[in-house]
Structure 1
């Protein structure tokens, strides 16, 4: 962590900093605009500040402090995975998904409306080979192109950035590669929001023209780093200009975090990683269930004051023969009865050293149909970047020697 980093300070903190330097409060507003609206790379680039003031900041070793993209990998479906290096040398992974993965469908938001008509059948999204075929067709199909925004100029409607909140993860979900890293440390608010700024800069994104969605679903558990997570949300909303309605945070089920989240005035949409239909199975795949069981989590979710048309998303990773049978679907229907819920089914993304298998396509189709027939909007998340270990549950700080597709850009 860099204690001299300016990126990550809110307006009040910048005002205090400039006050100690004997500067007027408007200087803090100029710095805030430069950091978050303009996304400057260095103090020297802040031309709204006088040269003498920039020199003072540089002399005091104040830096912008954005994470550095040191390696990148590109999937056949256009997804990009970045190895991000922080000031202390620790690294996390961040993912860029042009046109997203369909995770917003059915949650009532503006982002969900944009996804209408772009659903993928269970059979078409189950295997990596089939997914590649779908995206090959999608990438070559005629799509609206215009000069209005960087994404549109490249033929995309929108993009989703998947952000990490911790170096590693302490939750130990048995189907997830990130769990094998253990936990190193929390990321600061600047390091979390900085991943977004670094990716936006890489792609030349123009806020107000390009449609960007954010998912806090990368490495780590956001609600175990709650203060920095929620501060990063405010910086992204107030500074960079991404509305919270275009953000989704995923939690494995940290009860105190859900309770704090319910009281927030500015908050993303919530996605709870359910991943099982009863406590016995969930304890097997998510040991954290021993601390807070499903009933406790659902009770907390019911206390969230949902906005008009807002739905809670329940993520459900389908593991072959473990949680993907009709009996499990019936139990999910019973659990979610009376909750304004939608379900995202995620076909498990394989990883080395993890002893699970993908579900059969026909089991996925039956599971989805049973939930839909039971009155729950249910979608299958499109797998993005499986070939470069960028899909859900696959992030693990891959380095060049482990993954030949990676290209160093340091």
Structure 2
């Protein structure tokens, strides 16, 4: 006779499973919001009164606060609520290099371990910051060190603006100034192609120009592009700051060899967009022309450039090339650069030779490449051009 199993017809109790942990709350990057966007967040998401948005905004964008604990006129309860639901994206100073000419190059580390650079250029009548908009660059201009990195990612509006706030703090400390905003001019000519990150650029400009923020004048901000033609029209329609075009050639053959973007939008398409660009009265488009020895610096190049710019309110910044190891180009000699400038002026084109700043610290035009920071062999994003 077989032994019967006791209670064989009863179901075993189900195992007790651990309660899953709640999903982490995604923090809102409040340093990337315009005042309007911040007001919506505080009133709709946090249930706060709208005037609190102005307080928070001024702490971030006038005083450059990097933590909620600094905001002493906000209640402790609100500061705790902000810590749980929001964040101010930090940039950490990773390196600083000083040039004999007073230029200072800063390398910043982002929270995901990327590196970007911005360059402070003081002079007697202004204090200018060269701002980056991307980690690396997708444009791959063959004379530019940043182009060797490829594009890692876009910077957020908060990361773009944070460069300005961080350097304002540095300048106040270094120069013993009390003003909250010692910087007077901004040039978006650092790492990256600004119009390739247009929406974040536009938001950062709105923050930087706002009266409750740094309140930069549109006259003191310049954005440079290699020539993303469809975005030039949008840039003119949706912002009011100054435009600079990185031209660097007098023929399509030259430009396509050094600037791959020219294979999609050639010089004719680029200059057509410039002719249609809405300019405020008295404004001109700046054309940047990097002088490369025995490549684009002949008398014939000057003559062609005069013809190309006919009918465009323009000035030309001639930039003696800042030589980069391994890229195969040499800078134009001073005498040849002056001859090129004189020929343009004789052709009724306003032309200036830009003073190179920070060349000895690899902080000059085309030299920003995070040496000792970002790894050029690291995988890059594929560019999605408009």
| TM-score, with structure 2 as normaliser | 0.86
Q: Deviations over 1:190-241 (max 9, x none)?
A: 1111111111111126668745100000000001111001111111000211
The residue number in structure 1 matching 2:168 is: 200
The residue number in structure 1 matching 2:265 is: 292
The residue number in structure 1 matching 2:306 is: 333
Residues 1:298 and 1:400: Cα distance change in structure 2 (over 3 Å): closer
Q: Distance in 1 between matches of 2:97 and 2:181?
A: 26
Unaligned runs of 5+ in 1: 100-155, 403-410
Structure number, greater radius of gyration: 2
The residue number in structure 2 matching 1:87 is: 111
Q: Deviations over 1:312-332 (max 9, x none)?
A: 000000000000000000000
The residue number in structure 1 matching 2:221 is: 247
More contact order relative to length (CA 8 Å, sep ≥ 6):
1
Equivalent in 54, 64, 72 of residue 39 of structure 1: 64
| Structure 1 segment 34-113 matched on structure 2, within 5 A | 34-58=59-83, 60=84, 62-99=86-123
Q: Distance in 2 between matches of 1:89 and 1:54?
A: 27
The residue number in structure 2 matching 1:218 is: 190
When the two chains are superposed, the root-mean-square deviation of aligned CA atoms in Å is 1.8
CA contact (8 A) 2:168 2:180 kept: no
2:200 maps to 1:228: yes
CA contact (8 A) 1:262 1:303 kept: no
Aligned length: 343
Q: In the TM superposition, what is the alpha-carbon distance from 1:87 to its structure 2 partner?
A: 1.7
Q: Deviations over 1:134-184 (max 9, x none)?
A: xxxxxxxxxxxxxxxxxxxxxx43211000111100101110000110111
Q: Distance in 1 between matches of 2:169 and 2:274?
A: 36
Residues 1:24 and 1:400: Cα distance change in structure 2 (over 3 Å): closer
Q: In the TM superposition, what is the alpha-carbon distance from 1:91 to its structure 2 partner?
A: 1.2
SS of residue matched to 2:202: helix
SS of residue matched to 2:165: helix
Equivalent in 1, 4, 15 of residue 39 of structure 2: 15
CA contact (8 A) 2:171 2:182 kept: no
Q: Distance in 1 between matches of 2:374 and 2:53?
A: 44
Unaligned runs of 5+ in 2: 1-25, 376-386
Q: Distance in 2 between matches of 1:232 and 1:3?
A: 19
Q: In the TM superposition, what is the alpha-carbon distance from 1:66 to its structure 2 partner?
A: 3.2
The residue number in structure 1 matching 2:13 is: none
Q: Deviations over 1:18-61 (max 9, x none)?
A: 12211111111111111111211210011121112112222x06
Q: Distance in 2 between matches of 1:26 and 1:296?
A: 47
Residues 1:311 and 1:284: Cα distance change in structure 2 (over 3 Å): same
Q: Deviations over 1:52-73 (max 9, x none)?
A: 2112222x06332232211111
- After TM superposition, the structure 1 stretch with the greater mean CA deviation from structure 2, 354-363 or 203-212, is 203-212
SS of residue matched to 1:263: helix
Q: Distance in 1 between matches of 2:90 and 2:185?
A: 20
| Structure 1 segment 272-351 matched on structure 2, within 5 A | 272-351=245-324
| TM-score, with structure 1 as normaliser | 0.81
| Structure 1 segment 250-269 matched on structure 2, within 5 A | 250-264=224-238, 266-269=239-242
Q: Distance in 2 between matches of 1:241 and 1:295?
A: 36
Q: Deviations over 1:326-358 (max 9, x none)?
A: 000000000001110000000000111110011
